[in-house]
């Protein structure tokens, strides 16, 4: 039963601000679920046969699980920092493995070709060495000291800058990016990718941000992030193989791909294989 390890994880299933009493039909790992607001005002998530599923509201989203989560949802301490603007970017459906969606989020080498003139541009294609580790205490994948030249790193950026990134994977289908914050040096902007696995090859992606930016209108912030994600979408829908290969050999990693290598190793170690393939085909 390769699915079990991921069954007990939390997944995003909707925007908290859009909850209503009618409920919204969606799915989680193949099971039809309904997400609504209960009479007590809290989020209420119902699985097949009407069984009540765990539910909580955090980081602008409703979270649920088909199983029995052993831990509370991962912490993002920056989310509670005063002065940040919290941005619900909205859902985008992608016909791809939920793990592929996260892996692409961890990749910077594609910026010049897919996010041309925004997050990258030729000839600034080099990926400098950076650090990757699986932090045993937190049981998370971390990449730090990631640097990349970006023509327009954020909506608030004017002109090209070398941006510094840190990536964090605290759950199999969630990743958090900490990024140089142009208006406030010394702080990090928080950009997340929360992925709801609908099936092994289909997911709803809920990007969310916690930014220091008092200037840019909210709609511009949303549109900037939607632009970036939808540029990735056509790439994600054309990945071959569709499922993420966890065994080495099928794809050739370079130094630029060390975050992906660590992510795949961490998934395999935990048996997080929903959306993955183990045997080379």
Partner 1 sequence: MKLYDYVLSPSCYKVRLMAALTGVTLDIRPVDFHPGVEHRGPELMALNPAGSIPILEDGDLVLTESSAMLVYLAAKAAPQWLGNDTAGQAARVQQWLSFSHRLTASLGAARLHEMLLRPGNIAVLQGQGTAALRELEAGLVEQQIRGQRFLASDRPTIADVACFPYVALAPDGGVSLDPYPAIRLWSRAIRAIDGFIEMPGIHRLHELKPEPVPEVGEA
Partner 2 sequence: MRLSHGFVRGETLSCIYHGWGYAQAGNCLRIPAHPALTPPDTIRVATQPVEDGGGIIWISVGEPAAGPPRFEGLAPLRSMMVEADIAALEAVAGTKADGDLLDYTGNAPTIRLLLAPQGQARTLVHVLVAEGSSQAERIAASRAAEALRRAAEDIAHGGIAR
Residues near partner 2, by CB under 8 A: 109-110, 112-114, 122, 125-127, 235, 238-240, 252, 254-256
Q: Which is nearer to partner 1, 217 or 253 (CB)?
A: 217
- Say which entry of partner 2, partner 1, none residue 208 contacts (CB below 5 to 8 A, set by partner kind): none
162 is an interface residue for partner 1 by CB under 8 A: yes
Concatenating the DSSP letter of every residue in the chain gives -TTHHHHTS-EEEEEGGG--TT-EEEEETTEEEEEEE-TTSSEEEE-GGG-EE-EEEETTEEEE-SS--SSPPPP-GGGGSTTPEEEE---EEESS-HHHHHHHHT--TTHHHHSBTTTB-TT-------EEEEETTTTEEEEEEEEEEETT-STT--S-EEEEEEEEEEETTEEEEEEE-TTSTTSEEEEEEEEEEEETTEEEEEEEEEE--SSS-HHHHHHHHHHHHHHHHHHHTT-SSSSEE-STTSS---GGGHHHHHHHHHHHHHT--TTEE-S--
CB of 17 to partner 1, least distance (A): 9
Closest distance of CB 229 from partner 2, Å: 15
Q: Is 128 in the site for partner 1 (CB under 8 A)?
A: yes
**Residue 252 interface partner, choices partner 1, partner 2, none, CB cut-off 5-8 Å depending on type:** partner 2
204 binds partner 1 (CB under 8 A): yes
Report, in Å, the least distance between residue 202 CB and partner 2: 19
Q: How far is the CB of 126 from partner 2 (least distance, A)?
A: 5
Query: Using CB distances below 5 to 8 A depending on partner kind, what does residue 265 bind out of partner 2, partner 1, none?
Result: none
Q: Kindly state whether residue 223 participates in binding partner 1, applying the rule CB under 8 A.
A: yes
In angstroms, give the least distance from the CB of 235 to partner 1.
9
Name residues contacting partner 1, limited to 39-78 (CB under 8 A): none
């Amino acid at each position: 039963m390769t699915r079990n390890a991921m069954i007990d994880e939390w997944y995003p299933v909707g925007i908290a601000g859009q909850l209503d009493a009618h409920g919204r039909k969606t799915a989680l790992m193949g099971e039809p679920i309904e997400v609504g607001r209960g009479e007590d005002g809290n989020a209420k998530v119902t699985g097949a046969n009407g069984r009540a599923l765990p539910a909580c509201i955090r980081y602008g989203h409703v979270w649920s699980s088909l199983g029995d989560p052993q831990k509370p949802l991962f912490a993002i301490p920056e989310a509670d920092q005063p002065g940040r603007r919290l941005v619900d970017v909205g859902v985008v459906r992608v016909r791809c493995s939920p793990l592929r969606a996260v892996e692409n989020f961890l990749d910077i080498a594609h910026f010049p070709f897919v996010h041309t003139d925004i997050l990258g541009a030729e000839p600034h294609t080099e990926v400098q060495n950076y650090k990757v580790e699986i932090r045993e205490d937190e049981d998370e994948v971390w990449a730090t000291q990631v640097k990349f030249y970006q023509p327009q790193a954020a909506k608030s950026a004017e002109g090209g800058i070398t941006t510094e990134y840190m990536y964090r994977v605290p759950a199999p289908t969630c990743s958090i990016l900490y990024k140089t914050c142009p208006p406030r040096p010394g702080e990090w902007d928080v950009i997340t990718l929360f992925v709801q696995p609908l099936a092994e090859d289909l997911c709803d992606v809920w990007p969310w941000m916690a930014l220091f930016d008092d200037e840019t209108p909210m709609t511009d912030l949303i549109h900037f992030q939607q632009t970036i994600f939808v540029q990735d979408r056509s790439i994600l829908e054309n990945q071959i193989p569709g499922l993420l290969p966890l065994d080495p050999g099928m794809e050739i990693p370079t130094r630029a791909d060390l975050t992906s290598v660590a992510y795949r190793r961490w998934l395999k170690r935990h048996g997080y294989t929903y959306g993955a393939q183990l045997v080379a085909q």
